């Protein structure tokens, strides 16, 4: 959201961020973000190692290739399986409640869900609701980057009504406290990953070859200047 949380989710420069990371030589990204829980068993403060997404965004640039090439990356497994396993293995080394999987519903925002929408997301099979995982995960796949997501549960979404006697200020303080707890837990998990000696760069991973069969446009029809501008994505 930028320094001082000035950008709404729709304004975050996802493509620029991923492109800059790839240009710097980054091949592995662990994303994180606050979410509302759609499940009773995912309590505020818990971590979730996301394995699936439902993308409801519609105002964001979700491809590097729009306007000059048809590029269709596979998203049947939207996060890197090997990186997920690394996170799951590291989670076993620490005493923090971490859920091994969860479906993240990414909405456009910036407004939160209506109760009807929240209930619908549960029927869809969603476990979490947030605003920032997409198109980050899709762009990482186009950049041939291994990507995984740690979701930080800050509260229950509005499918679960708050107790009527609790005022908004009290609820906000609780959400901030829960998010701080989840943030500390997330940092603890990442520290466990970094100090474990586990492999974090997977040269033979399918994520690193996601563009091999994805470009459907005739190469002769693609502007050479566009090819040059985006060549780092193919490295």
Known catalytic residues are 155, 157
Q: Could you tell me the two tokens for 22?
A: 């790839």
The answer to whether 52 touches 104, Cβ cutoff 8 Å, is yes
Q: Which of 147, 159, 136 is nearest to 36 (CA)?
A: 159
**DSSP 8-state assignment for residue 73:** -
| Secondary-structure breakdown of the chain: helix, strand, coil percentages, each rounded to the nearest 5 | 35, 15, 45
Three-state DSSP class for residue 28: strand
Residue 162 DSSP one-character state: P
CB within 8 A of 89, min separation 6: which ones?
Answer: 196, 198
């Amino acid at each position: 959201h930028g320094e001082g949380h000035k950008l709404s989710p729709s304004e975050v420069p996802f493509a620029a961020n991923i492109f800059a990371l790839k240009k710097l030589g980054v091949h592995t990204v662990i994303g994180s973000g606050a979410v509302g829980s759609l499940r009773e068993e995912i309590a505020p403060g818990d971590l979730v190692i996301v394995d699936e997404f439902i993308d409801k965004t519609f105002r964001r640039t979700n491809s590097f290739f729009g306007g000059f090439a048809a590029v269709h990356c596979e998203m049947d497994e939207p996060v890197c399986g090997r990186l997920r396993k690394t996170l799951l293995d590291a989670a076993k080394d620490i005493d923090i409640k971490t859920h091994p999987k969860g479906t993240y519903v990414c909405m456009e925002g910036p407004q939160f869900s209506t109760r009807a929408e929240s209930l619908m997301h549960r029927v869809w099979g969603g476990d979490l609701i947030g605003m920032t995982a997409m198109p980050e995960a899709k762009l990482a796949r186009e950049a041939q980057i291994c990507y995984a997501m740690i979701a930080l549960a800050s509260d229950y979404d509005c499918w679960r009504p708050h107790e009527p006697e609790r005022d908004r200020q009290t609820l906000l303080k609780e959400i901030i406290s829960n998010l701080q707890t989840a943030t500390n837990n997330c940092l603890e998990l990442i520290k466990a990953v970094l100090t474990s000696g586990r492999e974090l760069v997977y040269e033979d991973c399918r994520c690193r070859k996601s563009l091999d069969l994805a470009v459907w446009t005739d190469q002769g029809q693609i502007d050479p200047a566009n090819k040059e501008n985006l060549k780092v994505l193919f490295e």
